[in-house]
């Protein structure tokens, strides 16, 4: 591995996304056990590719640690207070959005998440945030619920559209 950067490269915080990805892939593989084999193929393929990439990243990190070009630290996650607050806010909004999906449904929870992100994190005007979040949530509704027929929990918006259109 030929690292052209000067000094050591911090690693540690880089493992958060691969760890969460691996956990999600394992959860997904467990949750699709009862499905037909056709439905399992793409999930297993994606999980295998993900685990191969995580393995390559692990080998790269281990080689860097052994050569002394890398060192372990996680302080890059919270070294900048403003960035740490933004990351925490995004994490909190994500958890809240997932928590309200059973009650609000896919479309309204997606709208609320995007609207809050645009208002708080991007500092958009309320009007622009509502327009963009509304268009994206409606696009998600059309794609995932009407076209792909995914089984997201239905909320007031999905029930209203179903009652008005019969879709």
pLDDT tens-digit map of 77-127:
667 778 778 888 888 999 999 999 999 999 999 999 999 999 988 889 999
Rounded to whole angstroms, the Cα distance separating 13 from 22 reads 15
**73 strand-pairing partners:** 12
Which residue, 95, 99, 97, 107, is CA-closest to 154? Answer: 107
For 34-107, where are the E strands, in sequence order? 70-73
pLDDT of residue 105: 92
Contact 74, 87 (CB under 8 A): no
pLDDT of residue 146: 85
| More confident of the two residues 45 and 126 | 126
Question: What mean pLDDT do residues 155-167 have?
Answer: 88
Considering the entire predicted model, what is its pTM?
A: 0.61
152 pLDDT tier (thresholds 50, 70, 90): confident
**72 strand-pairing partners:** 11
Q: Is residue 62 pLDDT above 50, yes or no?
A: yes
Residues 6+ apart with CB under 8 A from 66: none
**pLDDT per position as a tens digit, 1-43:** 444 556 788 887 788 889 988 998 888 888 887 877 777 787 7
């Amino acid at each position: 591995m030929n690292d052209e950067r000067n000094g050591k490269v911090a690693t540690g915080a880089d493992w958060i996304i691969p760890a969460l990805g691996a956990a999600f892939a394992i959860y997904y593989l467990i949750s699709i056990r009862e499905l037909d084999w056709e439905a399992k193929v793409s999930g297993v393929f994606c999980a295998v590719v993900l685990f191969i990439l995580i393995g390559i990243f692990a080998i790269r990190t281990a080689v860097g640690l052994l050569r002394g070009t890398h060192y372990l630290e996680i302080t890059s996650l919270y070294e900048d207070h403003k960035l740490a607050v933004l990351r925490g806010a995004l994490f909190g909004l994500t958890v809240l959005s997932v928590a309200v999906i059973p009650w609000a449904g896919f479309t309204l929870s997606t709208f609320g998440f995007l609207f809050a992100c645009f208002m708080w994190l991007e500092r958009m005007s309320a009007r622009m945030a509502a327009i963009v979040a509304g268009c994206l949530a409606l696009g998600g509704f059309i794609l995932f619920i009407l076209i792909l027929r995914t089984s997201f929990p239905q909320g007031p918006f999905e029930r209203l559209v179903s009652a008005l259109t019969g879709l």
